């Protein structure tokens, strides 16, 4: 067997990462693990982003301590996942995810289900090198070793960072079959970092695009939400188009994506949402998700109204219900998420109606879903170049109205901690 290639080790003086850049939580976790004599490294997006001079979204730590030990070391922690046990260490404003170095996949699993590569259960522990090879992309497998502050690269991730390439570690055909969500993640990272997809990473995704149907809908929707809230959704949809994933994962976006050269059409929606995400306050989940369904709702309404007769409101509501039910079913959305989308889209429909009494206006403006609906109206108006006057008038009504009661009124406010999606990985 060929000897494994040696790791590239950049000593502290040869890379730009300084531990003072880490979040307080990440620093604490690394320190305590080290104090207990453990190997502790920062890994994943934290190292990647700091190497690129970007601000990490969250911090992932990997260690040789087992989950139970990590749990004991941090009072503010909990073990998550049954098949893949990880520890979430909870701080007031962040969650640091701590995993134990993973080893090669369990051969017993392969023996039991020959030909089936989808990894569904595995908790074998291993070395830092084995762990790096189980990660998804080369740029996501860099380690920052707390003991000597060196950056360690087993998978030629540093070269790909320089070249601006997202490359699957190992054989993409195999790695996508093990976990089809990686195909979506490839598009997301290429978009977020402004990188290219390496040729085989792209062509294998095309080949295996239909296998994305085997992925857990919960993980898919979490990745889609990450992608939408990154402010680089349009670029991600572009990569999804090129890899053939778009029609499989989001037919509603694919339907409108090539519709025009990019001015005044639905194909602008993703770009406009990106702009909104990048420049404004946090966009509610209901708006992120409903924006994907706006074209279907608007086209559906136009069809209903094509005959010229006034369409009953109940029929329009049914349209929203159907569109949300289809999307919600495909992604196994919670009842709360479906309800949020329905209310936003229904209220949006109401904003699109013609003149109405001031009582109706007041009651619409006071709805909890008015804010999300107005966001959708704003997006649509910018995309289609119409409705500017109506938008102005709704904004004026909103400013004049007393603020809507928040849904949590009366209940004590809980401090909000950043939520990290649960995921199965490696
Ligand atoms: P960010 O947090 O900025 O979105 P990230 O790269 O840190 O990006 P996470 O989802 O936080 O992504 O995952 C942390 C790390 O776990 C990844 O960098 C990667 O090394 C590994 N990982 C996550 N998902 C998978 C997967 N499906 N297959 C293999 N490795 C994965
Ligand atoms: Mg991360």
Determine whether the shortest distance from the Cβ of 122 to ligand 1 is under 6 A: no
Greater confidence (121 vs 356) lies with: 356
Mean pLDDT for the stretch of residues 76-86:
89
- The reported pLDDT for the residue numbered 422 is 54
**Beta carbons of 383 and 266 less than 8 angstroms apart:** yes
Determine whether the shortest distance from the Cβ of 57 to ligand 1 is under 6 A: yes
- SS percent in the chain: helix, strand, coil, step 5: 55, 10, 35
Measured CA to CA, the distance from residue 298 to residue 384 in angstroms comes to: 11
Show the CA angle centred on residue 385, arms to residues 384 and 386, nearest 5°.
Answer: 90
Q: Between the CA of residue 152 and those of 42, 157, 182, 385, what are the distances in Å?
A: 10, 10, 23, 51
Q: Between the CA of residue 240 and those of 11, 118, 235, 332, what are the distances in Å?
A: 37, 21, 9, 21
When the pLDDT of each residue in the chain is averaged and rounded to a whole number, the result is 90
If one counts every other C-beta atom within 10 angstroms of the C-beta of residue 25, the result is 21
List pLDDT tens digits, range 379-413.
999 998 888 999 998 999 888 876 655 554 445 55
Provide the whole-model pTM: 0.90
- The reported pLDDT for the residue numbered 272 is 96
- The reported pLDDT for the residue numbered 211 is 97
Q: Between the CA of residue 416 and those of 74, 95, 98, 221, 413, what are the distances in Å?
A: 20, 11, 21, 22, 9
Q: Which of 58, 122, 238, 321 is catalytic?
A: 58
Mean pLDDT for the stretch of residues 203-214:
97
Q: Candidates 58, 88, 129, 136: which one to mutate for ligand 1, based on the most atoms within 8 Å of Cβ?
A: 136
Q: Which two tokens stand for residue 295?
A: 């074209």
List pLDDT tens digits, range 113-146.
555 555 555 568 899 999 999 999 999 999 999 9
- The reported pLDDT for the residue numbered 108 is 58
Among 7-16, 75-84, 124-133, the minimum mean pLDDT is found in 75-84
Greater confidence (357 vs 424) lies with: 357
Q: Between the CA of residue 96 and those of 80, 152, 426, what are the distances in Å?
A: 12, 20, 17
Greater confidence (256 vs 329) lies with: 329
Q: For residue 100, what are the β-bridge partners?
A: 63
pLDDT at 425 over 60: no
Among 13-17, 272-276, 386-390, 418-422, the minimum mean pLDDT is found in 418-422
Q: Does the annotation mark 49 as catalytic?
A: no
Residues 6+ apart with CB under 8 A from 39: 33, 63, 64, 128, 145, 147
- The reported pLDDT for the residue numbered 306 is 86
Report how many helices (DSSP H) and strands (DSSP E) the chain contains, helices first. Answer: 20, 10
Measured CA to CA, the distance from residue 289 to residue 326 in angstroms comes to: 13
**Beta carbons of 147 and 181 less than 8 angstroms apart:** no
Q: How far is the CA of 182 from the centre of ligand 1 (A)?
A: 9
DSSP run (H or E) holding 49: helix 45-51
Closest residue by Cα to atom 16, ligand 1, is: 44
Determine whether the shortest distance from the Cβ of 227 to ligand 1 is under 6 A: no
If one counts every other C-beta atom within 10 angstroms of the C-beta of residue 251, the result is 13
CA quadruple 261, 264, 270, 274: dihedral sign: positive
Q: Indicate the pLDDT class of residue 308, thresholds 50, 70 and 90.
A: confident
Measured CA to CA, the distance from residue 233 to residue 260 in angstroms comes to: 18
**Beta carbons of 62 and 34 less than 8 angstroms apart:** no
Mean pLDDT for the stretch of residues 183-198:
98
Q: Candidates 60, 119, 170, 174: which one to mutate for ligand 1, based on the most atoms within 8 Å of Cβ?
A: 60
- The reported pLDDT for the residue numbered 167 is 98
Measured CA to CA, the distance from residue 15 to residue 152 in angstroms comes to: 11
pLDDT at 6 over 80: yes
Mean pLDDT for the stretch of residues 309-325:
92
Determine whether the shortest distance from the Cβ of 252 to ligand 1 is under 6 A: no
Q: How far is the CA of 383 from the centre of ligand 1 (A)?
A: 33
Greater confidence (376 vs 359) lies with: 376
Mean pLDDT for the stretch of residues 57-69:
96
Atom of ligand 1 nearest to the CA of 60: 14
List pLDDT tens digits, range 245-267.
999 999 999 988 766 544 557 88
Residues 6+ apart with CB under 8 A from 204: 168, 172, 173, 176
Q: How far is the CA of 48 from the centre of ligand 2 (A)?
A: 10
């Amino acid at each position: 067997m060929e000897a494994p290639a040696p790791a590239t080790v950049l000593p502290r003086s040869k890379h730009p990462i300084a531990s003072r850049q880490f979040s307080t939580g990440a620093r604490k976790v690394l320190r305590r693990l080290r104090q207990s004599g453990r190997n502790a490294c920062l890994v994943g997006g934290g190292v990647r982003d700091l190497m690129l001079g970007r601000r990490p979204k969250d911090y992932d730590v990997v260690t040789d301590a087992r989950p139970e030990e990590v749990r004991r070391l941090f009072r503010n922690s909990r073990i998550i996942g049954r098949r893949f046990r990880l520890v979430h260490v909870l701080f007031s404003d962040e969650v640091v995810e701590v995993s134990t170095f993973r080893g090669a996949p369990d051969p017993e699993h392969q023996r039991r289900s020959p030909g089936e590569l989808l990894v569904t259960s595995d908790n074998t522990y291993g070395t830092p090198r084995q762990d790096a090879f189980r990660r998804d992309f080369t740029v996501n497998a860099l380690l920052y070793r707390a003991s000597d502050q060196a950056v360690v690269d087993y998978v030629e991730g540093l070269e790909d960072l320089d070249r601006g390439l997202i490359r699957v570690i190992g054989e993409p055909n195999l790695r996508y079959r093990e976990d089809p969500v990686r195909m979506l993640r490839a598009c997301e990272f290429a978009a977020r970092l402004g990188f290219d997809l390496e040729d085989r990473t792209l062509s294998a995704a095309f080949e295996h695009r239909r296998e994305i149907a085997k992925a857990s809908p919960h993980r898919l929707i979490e990745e889609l939400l990450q992608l939408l809230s990154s402010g680089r959704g349009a670029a991600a949809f572009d990569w999804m188009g090129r890899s053939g994933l778009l029609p499989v994962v989001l037919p509603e976006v694919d339907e409108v994506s090539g519709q025009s050269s990019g001015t005044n059409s639905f194909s602008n929606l993703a770009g406009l949402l990106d702009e909104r995400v990048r420049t404004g306050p946090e966009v509610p989940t209901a708006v992120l998700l409903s924006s994907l369904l706006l074209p279907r709702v608007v086209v559906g309404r136009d069809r209903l109204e094509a005959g010229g007769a006034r369409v009953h409101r109940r029929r329009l509501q049914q349209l929203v219900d159907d569109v949300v039910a289809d999307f919600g079913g495909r992604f196994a959305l919670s009842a709360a998420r479906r309800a949020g989308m329905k209310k936003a889209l229904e209220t949006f429909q109401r904003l699109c109606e013609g003149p109405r009494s001031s009582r109706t206006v007041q009651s619409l403006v006071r709805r909890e879903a008015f804010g999300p609906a107005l966001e959708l109206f704003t997006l649509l108006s910018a995309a289609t170049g119409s409705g500017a006057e109506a938008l102005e008038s709704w904004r004026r009504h909103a400013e004049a109205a007393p603020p809507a009661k928040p849904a949590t009124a009366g209940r004590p406010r809980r401090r909000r901690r950043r939520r990290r999606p649960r995921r199965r990985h490696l």
